[in-house]
Structure 1
């Protein structure tokens, strides 16, 4: 009986994974829910204050992340999947993952399709919940437990044959599935390219990310002024950062095309990869009003950042890569209604004038 049950679980799991691959996912694995292997590291990370102002990672959010059985009561296993968002596309001022439609929506629908398939296959309602970077889960830990890959020195999950330009999603279920062996190997070796390349020093040691220095955090999550000492390091990056992924040999070699057409760059980002394109994009964001912002980023993950935050970022970018043609826009931003934007415009003007040796 036990052998038959195990065979049934194996067969069901194999077919479920096949469905996932059929939907376009680049990797799929199963993990039993429980205490994460990285719980102690997570606690130490919080204690060091590396989460910055991301309060959702503290308190109850931290408590739920200490055991993956807690977020969705009754669930025992998780199907974990990875989806490429197009690591072969050129680097640019907007991180690749955010150039298309909101991945939360796109992938959640795909995972719900897997839920429906599973219910039809087992012939009963399945207590399940999809998670796409939106729940209190240590997702990379769960993915490693499901055998998808290992956590690299840049803290990103690296999947053999696919690199690290990947979204992670999972389906928590109350169905007994056959678990995959955890991915135990560390294939980073002695490489430290990601640590060496970070322009703001956000990776002080292997597998430790100080979010308070990370360009992605500073341009997306942070609701205050970007620390002056870090602004130059932001360079021409308006929203997010791909640097620690781009230099990883595994990603350079194995990055794939985007899983879904919805992840293709919107027209606003299609030609903004060089310096002039970056400047043009920054100027267009500076000139947006609320209606422009809502129209440009409808259905986009970029709405995670408010308009004033994007304009703050745009001022920093123009201060770093602008020319005398951008002075007028920055002058206008000195009159912005938000104090933080005004201060960043002043900083950018001072830096830009010094760079181009324009008269004060």
Structure 2
């Protein structure tokens, strides 16, 4: 295929991707990522915490993007906005709607089917949507979609950083020449440090180095145990995830988009017009069946019910009022010891706050002694 034919195929692929609803698309070859050494150093420093899937065999696969899918030579890298102008809240914006994994996997498969139809033959390909051993942001930078911000997010100069990444790994036959995009080499953060300064838990070791074990997203979603007491108060009203480092980024302030009507990423009814206290109380009152019904088809099911209840206890300990004490006290019958402990600490914090403000305590305000004390 001539260079003109290669460029034409790339243009057709991009046009189809845009037609399917993707907001950005770039094409790159596969191989060792430019960030391989930084990734290894990050793992070695222990910044991955309990995310063991990033180490071992998972790390080895991530060290060369040709390894996850046998035969693949190129990646069509895609970005889909999930809205950056919706109000802040106790749940990160990306998790308020339907599970992006399922939706984007099907949309990416649709691009695969179109490519097979366009070339008139079967194509060895596989979609990846934040669920395989791939350094997605490295691949996206390699495909020209943006640069690594100081908050480690990929930032695009036209839409900011409130977007999902997905990719279609494809095997391009020797008789097909596919034009690829230039990497995005520029760093457009300049001297700005708003994201680093705004982090509630000061999780950034430095520009582009995140200690995940201090990040609110990790603490509320990935951590399968007790949250460090020193990090509970800085969590404020966050129940699931955190958008602070993106909210303050000038590129998002200027370029992040609102969600279009009917978007699958629009907030579910359980999150609409609901503050952190209200949502926390609702989560504490849920049983397993209610949790399954409320979060069916939601990315939030990555966190088990007991984890959300643990987070809810922290939130009520931070922003709760006397009206929330009963919800915390109800957790003393909780099966999960970690939830009971977080509730007890939250009640103790509430009691201390009321004492400091000279509000008299009632017998019901005194926290029950945790069973593990």
Contact 1:129 1:171 in 2 (8 A): yes
Q: Which residue of the partner structure matches residue 267 of structure 1?
A: 269
Q: Deviations over 1:16-44 (max 9, x none)?
A: 11111112211110010000000000000
Number of positions where the alignment pairs a residue of Structure 1 with one of Structure 2: 353
Contact 1:323 1:356 in 2 (8 A): no
Q: Deviations over 1:309-337 (max 9, x none)?
A: 00000000000000000001101112211
* Residue in structure 1 matching 2:323, options 325, 335, 341: 325
Q: Which residue of the partner structure matches residue 202 of structure 1?
A: 203
2:125 matches 1:128: yes
Q: Which residue of the partner structure matches residue 353 of structure 2?
A: 355
Q: TM-score normalised to the size of structure 1?
A: 0.96
2:235 matches 1:238: no
- Distance between the aligned counterparts of 1:219 and 1:226, measured in 2? 8
Q: TM-score normalised to the size of structure 2?
A: 0.93
Q: Which residue of the partner structure matches residue 168 of structure 1?
A: 165
2:17 matches 1:16: no
Q: Which residue of the partner structure matches residue 158 of structure 1?
A: 155
- Distance between the aligned counterparts of 1:107 and 1:149, measured in 2? 20
Q: Which runs of 5+ in 2 are unaligned?
A: 367-373
SS in 1 for 2:33: coil
Q: Once the 2 structures are TM-superposed, how far is the Cα of residue 9 of structure 1 from its aligned partner?
A: 1.7
SS in 1 for 2:239: coil
SS in 1 for 2:75: strand
Q: Which residue of the partner structure matches residue 44 of structure 1?
A: 41
Q: Deviations over 1:120-158 (max 9, x none)?
A: 001110000000000100000000000000010000000
Q: Which residue of the partner structure matches residue 143 of structure 1?
A: 140
Contact 1:320 1:348 in 2 (8 A): yes
Q: Which runs of 5+ in 1 are unaligned?
A: none
CA-atom RMSD in angstroms = 1.0
Q: Once the 2 structures are TM-superposed, how far is the Cα of residue 7 of structure 1 from its aligned partner?
A: 1.9
Q: Which has the larger radius of gyration?
A: 2
SS in 2 for 1:94: coil
- Distance between the aligned counterparts of 1:8 and 1:147, measured in 2? 21
Q: Which moved more, 1:59-68 or 1:333-342?
A: 333-342
Contact 1:77 1:172 in 2 (8 A): yes
2:195 matches 1:181: no
Q: Which residue of the partner structure matches residue 248 of structure 1?
A: 249
Q: Deviations over 1:31-81 (max 9, x none)?
A: 100000000000000000000000000000000000000000101000001
